[in-house]
């Protein structure tokens, strides 16, 4: 049975088996390769997407659970190629290196800053508990998030 979902505002239908990880449906069927399958166990956060507006690990979300839901990926956060404030701040802070963690970072931080517009440094760090980065040592990411909040 096909699985219906709204992806970045568009109705989509997946033919995948319902226990297929959502990240694979997004990447292989819908060609949205922003979300990265890095750990496939919910520890790294590189595949974070929004499910009904809430960040989730797409590797641990069975496609069947996406039925009828709204899915938002990093591609949907920069409509028309315009960077959102989090993305723009990360550019400004020269935070990006290899870049593989950033799609998940951006989804997590965009949601977090909408919920917590004036976070403390420790709150930002705690919000990133599930988003690992191997290149940057985090500080510029944290600083970029705090800058968005301060703007």
Residue 4 binding another protein, by CB under 8 A: no
Residue 148 binding another protein, by CB under 8 A: no
Residue 5 binding another protein, by CB under 8 A: no
To another protein, the closest distance from the beta carbon of 118 in angstroms equals 18
Residue 25 binding another protein, by CB under 8 A: no
Residue 30 binding another protein, by CB under 8 A: no
Question: How far is residue 49's CA from residue 14's CA, in Å, rounded to a whole number?
Answer: 17
Q: Are 34 and 16 in contact (CB under 8 A)?
A: no
Question: How far is residue 114's CA from residue 29's CA, in Å, rounded to a whole number?
Answer: 30
Question: How far is residue 78's CA from residue 131's CA, in Å, rounded to a whole number?
Answer: 20
The region, left, alpha or beta by phi > 0 then psi within -120 to 50, assigned to residue 144 is: alpha
Between residue 90 and residue 119, which ones bind another protein under the rule CB under 8 A?
Answer: 90-91, 94-103, 106, 108, 112
Strand locations in the chain (E): 3-7, 10-14, 48-51, 54-57, 70-72
Between residue 63 and residue 82, which ones bind another protein under the rule CB under 8 A?
Answer: 64-65, 67, 73-75, 77-78, 81
CB closer to another protein out of 142 and 149: 142
Residue 12 binding another protein, by CB under 8 A: no
């Amino acid at each position: 049975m096909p699985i219906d979902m709204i992806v970045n505002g568009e109705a989509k239908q997946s033919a995948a088996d319902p226990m297929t990880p959502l990240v694979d449906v997004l990447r292989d069927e819908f060609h949205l390769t922003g979300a990265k399958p890095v750990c496939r166990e919910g520890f790294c956060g590189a595949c974070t997407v929004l499910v009904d507006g809430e960040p989730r690990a797409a590797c641990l979300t069975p496609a069947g659970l996406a039925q009828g839901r709204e899915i938002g990926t990093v591609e949907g956060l920069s409509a028309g190629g315009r960077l959102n404030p989090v993305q723009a701040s990360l550019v400004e802070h020269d935070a990006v290196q290899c870049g593989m963690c950033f799609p998940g970072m951006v989804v997590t931080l965009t949601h977090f800053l909408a919920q917590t517009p004036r976070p403390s440094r420790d709150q930002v760090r705690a919000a990133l508990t599930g988003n690992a980065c191997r290149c940057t040592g985090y500080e510029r990411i944290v600083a970029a998030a705090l800058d968005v909040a301060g703007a």
